Amino acid sequence: MQSIHHPLFAAVYERLSRAGGEWEEALRREVVGAAQGHVLEVGAGTGLNFAYYDPRRVEGVEAVEPDPAMLRYAQRRQGEAPVPLRLHQARVEELPFANETFDSALATLVFCSVEEPARGFAEIRRVLKPGGLLLLAEHVRAASPVTARLQDLLTPLTRRCAGNCHWNRATLTTLAGAGLRVISRRDEGGGLMPLVIVRAVKE
């Protein structure tokens, strides 16, 4: 596997995120606020989710991020977490944790960039306890064929300029084959950037 290192994208992401609006804050509050117990966060990026863990529900978080440039920003935000949070340099396809370790796993805007998403979901399934919850917020492939085709055309550019982001990725199709049962799904946004908020359980 190629190493993941996108310092320019990390710097731009960090700068743009400082202007993060109310919509983004509400989304993070909703998704992260549903995590409970011992939590795995994959693709933690610059650590924008850390402040939203609910100390009444969460014992602790293991946050993984493969890109050293992102990780540096995440380290600065580690102290914003109101729960114990440890950072690891790792990718979701090779999680450094034992089977059935976590009560919840969480990823926001990550699976568009993952090189082997099916393997990533298999790893999440492996480390979740039976009954464990996966919380996802991801932008996905558009339902309209015309819009999806536009996403296909944009994808070479987003892969190059936005940290390997596959704008056209059908993440929910991959999730459907991962042995995790979707218990809720909400669609937001639309057009070129449809967003899904999903909860799934390991049975």
Ligand X SMILES: C[S@@+](CC[C@H](N)C(=O)[O-])C[C@H]1O[C@@H](n2cnc3c(N)ncnc32)[C@H](O)[C@@H]1O
Q: How far is the CB of 173 from ligand X (least distance, A)?
A: 18
Residue listed under structure tokens 């995790």: 180
Answer whether 200's CB lies under 8 Å from 182's CB: yes
Q: How far is the CB of 145 from ligand X (least distance, A)?
A: 26
Rg (CA), the chain: 16
Q: Which is nearer to ligand X, 103 or 138 (CB)?
A: 138
Count the residues of the shown chain that bind ligand X, applying the rule CB under 6 A: 21
Q: Which is nearer to ligand X, 66 or 194 (CB)?
A: 66
Answer whether 93's CB lies under 8 Å from 115's CB: yes
Residue listed under structure tokens 């809720």: 184
Q: Which is nearer to ligand X, 111 or 130 (CB)?
A: 111
From 58, 32, 43, select the one nearest 135 (Cα to Cα): 32
- Tell me which residues in 92-111 interact with ligand X (CB under 6 A): 92-93, 108-110
- Residue whose Cβ sits closest to ligand X: 45
Read off the tokens for 164: 């390997």
Alpha-carbon span 103 to 100, nearest angstrom: 8
Q: How far is the CB of 45 from ligand X (least distance, A)?
A: 2
Please give the residue ranges that form the binding site for ligand X (CB under 6 A). Answer: 4, 42-45, 48-49, 65-67, 70, 91-93, 108-110, 113-115, 163
